[in-house]
Amino acid sequence: NAGVTQTPKFQVLKTGQSMTLQCAQDMNHNSMYWYRQDPGMGLRLIYYSASEGTTDKGEVPNGYNVSRLNKREFSLRLESAAPSQTSVYFCASSEGVRRGAPTQYFGPGTRLLVL
């Protein structure tokens, strides 16, 4: 099992460009998450999906959109990148607290630099 995979690993964008970060999990988890990690800020939730076809805003959703394409895949889109979106982005998945399995499994991250 690969667990949670993310592509790309690293990306450089110019201000105003768009891009989609891809995430896939092979653990048959219902819940999937996108976080950003910035120095001194910890991990902050951008968007969350409890199941295929549902998404919910997290703590810092502005400037992002998401798509839960199917149970395996959850993508994050930056429509018009800004330097403030320079960060490390992590995707995670879990079976969920309500199903007695709250552990979140994280991918290796995507390092994004917006110039």
Q: Which is nearer to other proteins, 17 or 75 (CB)?
A: 75
Longest CA–CA separation in the chain, Å: 43
| Dihedrals phi, psi of 85, to nearest 5 degrees | -95, 5
Query: Which residues make Cβ contacts (< 8 Å) with residue 102, sequence separation at least 6?
Result: 94, 95, 96
Q: Is 97 in the site for other proteins (CB under 8 A)?
A: yes
Identify the three-state secondary structure at position 98.
helix
- Measured from the CB atom, the residue of 27 and 41 that comes closer to other proteins is 41
Strands 105-106 and 4-7, sheet pairing: unpaired
Contact between 74 and other proteins (CB under 8 A)?
no
Binding mask 27-46 toward other proteins (x if CB under 8 A, else -) reads ----x-x------xxxxxx-
Q: Is 23 in the site for other proteins (CB under 8 A)?
A: no
Binding site for other proteins (CB under 8 A): 4, 31, 33, 40-45, 48, 50, 58-59, 90, 92, 94, 96-98, 102-109
